Amino acid sequence: MDISDIVTYESRDNIATITIDRADKMNAMNEAVIQGLRNAWLRFAEADDRVAILHAAGDKAFSVGADVKDPPREMWQGVPSIGVALSKPVIAAVHGWCIGGAYVIVQMCDLVIAADNTTFKYPEAQLGFTGGLIASAVARIPHKAAMEFMLLGEDFSAERALQTGMVNKIVARGEELLAAREWALRLAKSAPLVVTSLKDLALATLNKSPAEAGAMARDRLLRVSTSADGAEGRRAFRDKRDPQFSGK
Q: Mean pLDDT in the chain?
A: 92
Output the CA torsion sign for 164, 151, 140, 103: negative
Residue 246 lies in a domain: no
- The pLDDT value recorded for residue 178 is 98
- Predicted TM-score (pTM) of this structure: 0.89
Residue 64 lies in a domain: yes
Give the structural domain span for 145: 7-239
Q: Structurally, how many domains does the chain consist of?
A: 1
- The pLDDT value recorded for residue 219 is 64
Enumerate residue ranges in the chain where pLDDT < 70. 1-4, 216, 219, 221-222
- The pLDDT value recorded for residue 222 is 66
What is the per-residue pLDDT across 221-241, written as a single tens digit (0 to 9) for each?
A: 667 777 788 787 788 878 888
3-state secondary structure of 154: coil
Residue 245 lies in a domain: no
- Beta-strand ranges (E) seen in the chain are 7-12, 15-20, 51-56, 61-63, 90-94, 97-99, 111-115, 119-121, 156-157, 169-171
Residue 90 lies in a domain: yes
- The pLDDT value recorded for residue 180 is 98
Identify whether the C-beta of residue 9 lies closer than 8 Å to the C-beta of residue 25: no
- The pLDDT value recorded for residue 1 is 45
Identify whether the C-beta of residue 8 lies closer than 8 Å to the C-beta of residue 57: no
- The pLDDT value recorded for residue 232 is 76
Residue 2 lies in a domain: no
Phi-psi bin for 13: left (phi > 0), alpha (psi -120 to 50), beta? left
Q: What is the CATH number of the domain that holds 206?
A: 3.90.226.10
Residue 248 lies in a domain: no
Residue 47 lies in a domain: yes
